Each structure stands twice: as structure tokens, then as C-alpha cells.
Structure 1
Amino acid sequence: MISKIKSFFNFKTKQSLVLVLLVLIGTKINAQDNRSFQIFQFPANKIPTIDGNSDDWKIVPKNYAVGMDQLWDDSGKQPKADPKNLDVSVKVGWVKGLNRLYFLYEAYDNYWDFSQPGLHNDTFELIVDADQSGGPFIDRFHPNPSLTNTMDAYFSYHGVHAQNYHIFTPAVDKDWTMVWGSQPWIKNLPYANASYHYDFKPGQAGKLTLEFWITPFDYAGNDPSRAIESILKENRNIGLCWAIIDYDDVNKTENNGFWNLSKEHKMYGNASYSLPFKLMPLEKQFKKEIEAKWDFKVVNMTKREVAFIDESEGEISTWNWDFGDGTTSTQQNPTHQYKEAGKYVVILKILGPKGTSQLSKVWDVAVK
């Protein structure tokens, strides 16, 4: 009887330990997921020029900046951030209609280490998983053990559904970034561009400004003709993460800190540890109080049937469509059937408490 009681308590103790472990693991995972960030939408007439000058970014509110207060040194070498040692700010932007992510990286370092030709270089390591597919994406993390650390996995898997940019800060006598995967073409125009501004030499202190943009991909293999760009849409989240690798002595092989935005060190090869960044709408000061916008889709070319889609912004009371063939509609999203083939000038007029707006498109709508 006594042995049965002992067995029962041992079983309950093990259950409790398992429960505690699960709670701790869950706490770590939840800690990874409880933060989110924003990506600033640049107006189409204020797209940043990639010249290493941060003036274009003055319109970005301060709340978009991600600083050292969001990073932690998961190497354990630096117990807390010290702005006299390293101070970093990152802003991310986008432009509606372009599948590009713009970055402003500003950093002060008390010792800039960039004199060697290899990976021993102060680095901004960026992870992009724009469709939030998640999961491991480098060859050493391949779920099939027979493919782990193989060239087959490198070419077919590494960096394909998420990308890792190992950006040198600064890059001297080397390309601006190493793309960790078999798709180095993504770091060049027309897929990316970068520019620096700094006035220090190796081993000196100073401030660096790095401006760049990249194109995220849902699929990016060795062959660019098969690549699929990520489609960036307003109010959607994408997966991003980064780390700052800080070297402070050219004679030391190890870094002086791995400042990670993620709570998980292996974020560099597992997109599940990225963080949600929201593609924000235009800030209020860049919006018109009322603006007519519209698009269309040919529903049936044989019947010359066209669906018109209102995309106007602002508070709207009435819509007035002129289809260019002598007919009109006051519906918000009308469908119209043209009697004759032709190219038409279509006009949308809207009215609201803040005024009126009109948009015409010349010969966009054509039916045969």
C-alpha cells in the first residue's frame, strides 16, 4: 500500500514538473509574440532618395523608430545597453503600389570594426518573411535530416521562402551585403539599393547612416526567372527581425555583442521567430480630406460588361459615374454593359461634407 502511495505522489510530482516546464516554455513563446511594430507609408511624392542622407526621413514620426530599448544582447556579454558603447535606431518604410521595404539605419559605435574582407565586420543582420509563412529557412535547420547542411538544401531551400541580409556597416572593398542563401541577385538593382554616410576610420568612434531598400520575396531561388515577389498591402503584417553584431577589436575572433530584436537567438534562420510589422496607411497630414479613386475589372469581354470599384477616401455622401458612352450611375460600385466596342473616358465625381473630388481615366476602359 505504501509503495502505491509513493508511486502516486511521484507521478503527481512529475506531472507538476511537466506543467511548470510547459508554462515556462509558453511564457517564452508569448514573450516573443507580445510586441508589434509599424512600417511608415511614404506618400508617392516623398519617396526616399537612397543617398545616405536622412533628411527624407524627417517626416517619419518618432514612434516608428525601433531603438536599443527593444533589443537584448543574447550573447550574454552585455548585461544592458550602453549608448556610449552602441546606440542604434531603425525605421522602416514602404510606398503603396511598390513591393519595396525602405530602411533607415542610424548607429553610433565607440569602435567601428570593418577592416577585414570576411564576416568579421560590424553588421546589421536583417530577416524578412513578408508572407509570414514562418519556419526554418536555412540549410542547417532543414527538417529532413538527410538534407541538413547539404548543397542540395542550400540551392533549393536556403533563403527561398524567407531571406537573410547580412549587411556590413560599413562595407569597404566588399559588397554592401551578403545574402545568406543561393540568391545573391536579390541584393542588386532592380531588387535592392543602398548608400552610406560616415566619416570615421576602422577602430574609431562615430555615427553611421545607412539607407537602403529591398524587395521581399515569397519565393526566391537561385533562378530569378522563377522568383515571386511579396505583394505589400496596406494594414497587413509582414514578418521582420534584425540583430546588430558588434565587433570591438580586430584581433578578436568573437563579437562583443549580438543585439537581437527577437527573444530567440536562432531567428537568423527560423522565420517563426520574426515579429509582426504592420504596413500602415498614410498619416493623416498626408491625406486629402476627400479624394476620388477608382478601379475597374472587365467581367465579360464578350458582353462588354465592366465592374467599377470605388476606392475613394474620405467621408462620402454621393457618387456619380459617367461611363463615357452617354450613361451614368449613382451607385457606389456599379456594373455597366457597353453596347459598342470602343475606348472610353470614365469619370467618377464624389461629394461629401468636406467638399467634392473628381477622377477621370482616359481610355483605361476599353472593350471590343
Structure 2
Amino acid sequence: MSSHPALRVLLLPVLAALLHAQPQSLARPGVTFQIFQFPADQIPRVDGNTDDWSMVPESYMIGTDQLMDTVHGRGTNIDRKDLDVRVKVGWVKGINRLYFLYEAYDNYWDFSRNDLHNDIFEVVVDGDLSGGPLIAQMHPNKDIPRWDAHFSMHGVHAQNYHIFTPAEGKDWALAWGCQPWIKELPYMNAAYKYNFKPGEAGRLTLEFWITPFDYASCDGPDRSVESKLWENKIIGLSWSILDYDDVNAKTHTGFWNLSHKQTMYGNASDLVAFRLMPLEPNLRKKLEAQWSFVVADMDRRLIAFTDRTVGQVTSWKWDFGDGTESTEQHPIHAYEKAGQYVVTLYVEGPAGKSRRAKVWDVTVK
């Protein structure tokens, strides 16, 4: 058994610092909202019902009090008899999706027209904190033709969704950019629940998920790269509510903005920090053995194993499947012969014992 503890000692603090670093270029410095982690066996159904979200603590709720009107000069003075909203955001470890629950009361729901004149929940996401302009109108090269800018960068590194609330007789959203395919399955899903007509007051529930992209190609999904989501990662995210109160009005009467910067709709540097949270303590198993591995050097059949056990561990035992063992937490092992191996991690802690075997995942030549 071979190991390189010095390398791990050098790298782990660097990785930890990167994971927990606070972004400096986003709007609202010092503010980091939280994204709730759903257990893998309790992924919310997209059906417009809120039952699946009952496990999400109210501390994750982002309400009207966090919004600012950045167009009409009303600041944070929102009349909740006119508009009141509640938003919760979730994720599931291992799936590159962001789940949203949007609950809103409006004294006048405007959605009878076929164009952009519609009450809108506008969501902008930057999954890798790349920052910078994301719409053609803000392209830094002012000499580039408008449509060349559109088809080269609009929505590519960060995405803007104009979500119609509600949508009747048209798509649920405008994916503002050159890649309308991101607003369709298998990259999103959405469901509404409401019982009002255009011009009436009432409450709306919107449940949906989207897939953020580090690179959303104008040519389609085959050349695109999804944003990878992991615990404690910080992403850029914000939203605004475009509130119309007159079907004949030329523009909205409210632009209520979480970022507090008007340009959040087109510049990813003006979004807000959101952290992908670990499971809440009451949803975690007390002890569950988990592990992963990478091939460090196939020529030497060198495999690096990483303990990812959930819960407090006092002892580890690795069975590498070739007759050798290790009691290190993160061993590196060299296999003498090519083959397919059953590797098992046994752990013990205050909560008891647990094991995790993987059959033939570890294969060397």
C-alpha cells in the first residue's frame, strides 16, 4: 500500500479555501442566501403543490422584504396588498438542477396578451460565477453587429429566464438568448396552480426546475456544458418581479429586484451569492459509509480512494479486494495485477457501524 500524505496536506486546505471563499464581485456584499438540499429520496415533484417543500425551514425563504424597485424609484417600500412573494430554492446532490418554489399574491394578474406584456418572474443564474455581460446589448465590443453579439454570447455563460406568471396559450418562459432549448425538457419542468382570471387578484403557486449551464451553446445541447453543483459551492443567482397592473400599459409598474442592481438582468456580476447547502442535520443519516476513487496512474495501477462517509467516524478499514487492507481515511493503493476488484470500506463511530462495497467499479489493466 502506497500513500502520499504530504500531497494531501498541501492540497486539502487549498480546496477548502476555494469552496468557502466569499465572492467579491457580486451585488449585496456580505449577503449570501442559502439553497436547500433535498435528500435524494425526497426530490420534489413538479406538480404545483407545496407538500414536498414542507421540510424546507423558513430560514430558506426569501420574501418581499428582500426586494427593491430599481426602475420606478420606490426603493424597498412595497405595498404587500399590491404584491407579496415568497421564494425557496433547492438542489439535490448529484443532479445539476435548481428547484424553485414561487408563491405570490398580486392584486392584479396581467397575462391575457401573447407578447412580453405579462406578470413575470425573471430569474438569472450564473452557475460558475464567470460574471460579466450575458446579453447582446451589453457586449463590451460596441462595434460588433447586434445579431453577431446575440448569436455569440447572449445567454451562453449565464442564463436569463423570463417566466410568465401565469402562462396561458404560450410557453412557460422566454429563455432570453440564442438557446431556447434550455426551457424545454429534459432541461426544465414547470407547473402552476391558480384560480384567477386576467385582471383579478389572487394567489399563484409556481414550481419549476432549471439546469444552469457554464456554456449553453447557440448550436444546441450537444456542445453545451452543464454547471456542476456540489455542497458549499457558491453560485450567482438573482430574480426580479415585473408587475403589470394595466393590460394597456406600455411598461410594468414595478420591477422588484433581489440584487438591488437594475443591470442584474444582463450582467452576471450584478447577481447575488447563493450557497448550495449540505443536508440539514435532521435529514442526515447518523452513519453511512460512502467513498469515491480516481485512477491516479493506470500504468502503475495506482488508485486514490476518498472517504465520503456521512456521520462521525472513529475508525476506517479498507478491503481493496486483492487481499490487502488499510486503516487510513484516504488511502492510495497500487494493485499488483490487472483485474476487477470488489472494494469495501468499513467504518465505525459513536452511532455504530456501516460498510459500503462497490463491485468491479475499480478495474485496472
Instruction: Provide the residue aligned with 1:190 in structure 2.
Output: 186
Paired position in structure 2 for 1:335: 332
2:246 maps to a residue whose letter is D
Partner of 1:178: 174
Report the alpha carbon displacement of residue 223 of structure 1 after superposing the two structures with TM: 1.2
CA RMSD of aligned residues (A): 1.5
Tell me the residue number matched to 2:318.
321
Distance 2:302 2:69 in 1: 60
Q: Distance in 1 between matches of 2:154 and 2:297?
A: 43
Picking from 112, 123, 127, the partner of 1:115 is 112
Residue in 2 that maps onto 1:206: 202
Secondary structure, counterpart of 2:95 in structure 1: coil
Identify if the C-alpha distance between structure 1 residues 30 and 342 changes in structure 2 by more than 3 Å, giving closer, same or farther. Answer: closer
Contact 1:155 1:221 in 2 (8 A): no
Offset at residue 31 of structure 1 (A): 7.2
Matched, 1:89 2:86: yes
Q: How far did residue 363 of structure 1 move?
A: 1.3
Q: Distance in 1 between matches of 2:50 and 2:31?
A: 26
Q: Is the Cα–Cα contact under 8 Å of residues 77 and 256 in structure 1 kept in the other structure?
A: no
Q: Which residue does 2:246 correspond to in 1? A: 249
Per the alignment, residue 347 of structure 2 pairs with: 350
Q: Which residue of 1 aligns with 2:35?
A: 39
Q: Deviations over 1:120-145 (max 9, x none)?
A: 00000011111111111111111111
1:235 aligns with 2:232: yes
Distance of aligned partners of 1:169 and 1:31 in 2 relative to their CA distance in 1, 3 Å threshold: closer
d(CA) in 2 for partners of 1:70 and 1:177? 24
Give per-residue Cα distances to partners, 1:145-176, cap 9 Å, x unaligned. 1026x100000011111111000000000000
Please tell me whether the aligned partners of residues 77 and 257 of structure 1 are also in contact (alpha carbons under 8 angstroms).
no
What is the CA–CA distance in structure 2 between the aligned matches of 1:324 and 1:141, rounded to whole Å?
57
Residue identity in the other structure for 2:28: Q
Q: What does residue range 59-138 of structure 1 map to in structure 2 within 5 Å?
A: 59-76=55-72, 78=74, 80-138=77-135
Q: Quote the sequence identity (%).
A: 60
Query: Which stretch has the larger CA shift, 196-205 or 115-124?
Result: 196-205
Determine which of 276, 283, 287 is the counterpart of 1:279. Answer: 276
Give the greater-gyration-radius structure (CA).
Answer: 1
The alpha carbon displacement at 1:324 in A equals: 1.4
- The one of 121, 142, 147 equivalent to 1:145 is 142
Q: Secondary structure at the match of 2:148?
A: helix
1:264 — aligned with what? 261
Distance 1:77 1:145, change over 3 A: closer
Structure 1 unaligned blocks of 5 or more = 1-28
Q: Secondary structure at the match of 1:63?
A: helix
CA spacing shift, 1:276–1:45, aligned 2, 3 Å: same
Secondary structure, in 3 states, of the residue corresponding to 2:41?
A: coil
Counterpart contact for 2:120–2:241, Cα < 8 Å: yes
Which one-letter code corresponds to 1:296 in the other structure? F
In structure 2, C-alpha distance between the alignment counterparts of 1:359 and 1:73, rounded to whole Å: 52
Q: Specify which of 215, 239, 249 is matched with residue 219 of structure 1.
A: 215
- Which structure has more helix as a fraction of its residues? 1
Q: Which amino acid in the other structure matches residue 331 of structure 1?
A: E
Amino acid at match of 1:253: K
Q: Report the CA distance shift for 1:303/1:74 in structure 2 as closer, same or farther (over 3 A).
A: closer
Work out the CA distance in 1 between the residues paired with 2:346 and 2:26. 49
Give 1:57's aligned residue.
53
Q: Rate the CA distance shift 1:31–1:188 in 2: closer, same or farther, 3 A.
A: closer
Q: Specify which structure has the bigger relative contact order, considering alpha-carbon pairs within 8 angstroms and separated by 6 or more residues.
A: 2
The separation in 1 between residues aligned to 2:296 and 2:69, in whole angstroms, is 56
SS at match of 1:239: strand
2: CA distance between counterparts of 1:66 and 1:252? 29
Corresponding residue pairs, total: 339
- Give the alignment's TM-score, normalised by structure 1: 0.89
1:50 and 1:212 in contact (8 A); partners too: yes
Higher deviation after alignment, 177-186 or 297-306: 297-306
Give, in whole Å, the separation in 2 of the partners of 1:302 and 1:76. Answer: 65
